[in-house]
Structure formats: C-alpha cells, structure tokens
Amino acid sequence: MADSKKKEVRVFAPATVANVACGYDVLGFAINEPGDEVVVRMSDTPGLRITKITGDGGKLPTDPEKNTAGVAALDFLKHLGMQDTGIEMEIHKKMPFGSGLGSSAASAVAGVFAVNQLIGQPLSKKQLLPFAMTGEASADGAYHADNVGPCLLGGIVFIRSNDELDIAKIPVPKNLWAAVVHPDIEILTKVARDILPKEILLENATQQIGNLGGLICGLIQEDYGLISRSIHDVIAEPRRQKLIPEFYRAKRAAEAAGALGFSISGAGPSVFALCQGKECAEKVGAAIVEVFTGIDLQNQLYVSPVNLDGVREL
C-alpha cells in the first residue's frame, strides 16, 4: 500500500469517446478535457457522505446510493469490508449531461479512484474497473466499459467482453489527435439505444467487423491510411445521425478539412474526428464548429491528443 495517512485527495477523471465509429460498445479512448473532479477526505462520522455537488444544476442526488460516484465508491468499500469508514465526498461536474462524452463514467471512475487513493491504494487501477462499472450502470442501466475503461486506464481501450470485463489497451499512434465538438443539445442514452435496429444484415455485420479489425490494425501499425479507411459505422450512425442537426454537413466539412474519419461520440450528440497531428485537428475542429454555429447551435470544441493517463490525482 501507498501512504495510508492521507487526509484529503482530489482527482480528475477525463471525458471519453466511446464506440469510435465501428467499435460499438467495445472501443473507446480518453481525451484531456473536459472532465470531472472529485474530492474525498477522512471524516469522524461513519460511512460515505456526499457533502457538496457543483456544476450539476441541482440534477444529481447527494444520496451516495443514488449517485454514480457514490455507488462506485460504496461498492468498492463494501468489497473491502470498509463500508463504515468515515469519508466525505465532493463532486465537481465539469462536463455536460447526456453529452456522449462519458459524464456518468467520469463521476463513477473519479469516485472510486479517489477513495482508493485516500485509503492507501489497496487495489490497482485495473482492479477498480468492476466498481466503476457498477457506478455507471446505476445511471443508465447499461453495463459496458467503452467509457469507463479508457477513463480509468487512459489511452485506447478494446473490450473483448463486457460481461467478463476482458479488456486490452491498444497502442496509440504518436501523432493521433482528436477534435471533439459538443453541440448544446441533450440526447439520453436510452433514446439513442432504442433507435437502433434489433437485427443486423449479415453484410453489414461483416463490413462492421472488417472496419473494426482494420481500425485496430491501423492503430497498432500507425497506418493512418488504414485508420482512415476503417473509421466507418454502418450500424449505429445511420440511425443516430437524425438526432444531431446537420450531422452529415459537419461530417463532410470535417473530411474536407483533412479528418481521417468522423462519427458520433458515444450515444451523441457530441461528434468527433480523428486527425493526424494537432494542426489538422484544430482545422477540422474549426470546420465542424462553423457548421453548428451556422445554424445558431451553441457548441464547445475540444482538441486533444489521446489522453494516455486516464484518471489521475491532482
């Protein structure tokens, strides 16, 4: 164990891009910002208490059994037989709800990681994954690690099985950047899931598998041409694009500006483009912003390399 006498810990958990076009529920990566901060400190009062939440507009419950950060931390403490340990938690939401950027995952990851740091790091980051998953699942009912995995571990994460939590980190090309734009609309994950087809044509499944394999090979080999040819989603994007105003205009603008590929981040409404280099990512980001701004849709742009660290102590 590390220092077990810490009185207070502050951590930052980054936003994530899930699915990455052809990797529905099995692929995700972390970016540098936005993200959530959680502060935990030891208390003389037994049990976990959430004492403050900022940036949520009063939407989140302070009951730890109904809050993603609290659920993850409680599940972790119960696993250790330490549920009566006195801990105060503050949650500072610095990313929007229903954004497609892994907001629930960031809170869950930050909550369990902060408590693990506070009590002396009895578990490794990877060992915290099932507790963070429980926290996120309490918010949307879905048990998938394509947000939680990269938020916790950093980098690009492939999930072979969500049920078994069998995950692997994929090498990140040195010059791979992302331009992520969040338009100011909210799409609930349940709505975005309900709109998907219940059955998939064999030819579409084959194409999607080929694209996913090509994308993973391209990332490992740092083959930007193969990456670009592979970032195509023939299953979720054709259905979900209708939830995002001027989606295809934004996609054409991103590709014209040099993007390797463009798609929906998670369930949306955020969109992302993978790019070769910072300069390209900035140009692509500006092109996407111009489309949304042109229809009076407020938006936020985040240009970032892939975040290799994931959640970290501040």
| Two tokens, residue 67 | 């809050």
Question: Other CB atoms closer than 10 Å to residue 53's CB: what's the count?
Answer: 20
Maximum distance among all alpha carbons in the chain? 61
Q: 242 exposed, middle or buried (CB, 10 Å; 0-12, 13-18, 19+)?
A: exposed
Question: Other CB atoms closer than 10 Å to residue 155's CB: what's the count?
Answer: 18
In the block, residue with structure tokens 């049920």? 163
Query: 223-235: b or e for each residue (b if 16 or more CB lie within 10 Å)?
Result: ebebbbbbbbbbb
| Two tokens, residue 287 | 């092109």
Q: 112 exposed, middle or buried (CB, 10 Å; 0-12, 13-18, 19+)?
A: buried
Helix (H, G, I), strand (E, B) or coil at 196: coil
Q: List the catalytic residue out of 16, 37, 68, 136.
A: 136
What lies within 8 Å, CB to CB, of 281 at 6+ separation is: 177, 178, 179, 273, 275, 303, 304
**Pairwise CA distance, residues 24 & 20, whole Å:** 7
Query: 209-222: b or e for each residue (b if 16 or more CB lie within 10 Å)?
Result: eebbebbbebbeee
**Pairwise CA distance, residues 170 & 44, whole Å:** 43
Q: List the catalytic residue out of 189, 222, 246, 282.
A: 189
Helix (H, G, I), strand (E, B) or coil at 18: strand
Question: Is position 189 annotated as part of the catalytic site?
Answer: yes
Active site residues: 136, 189
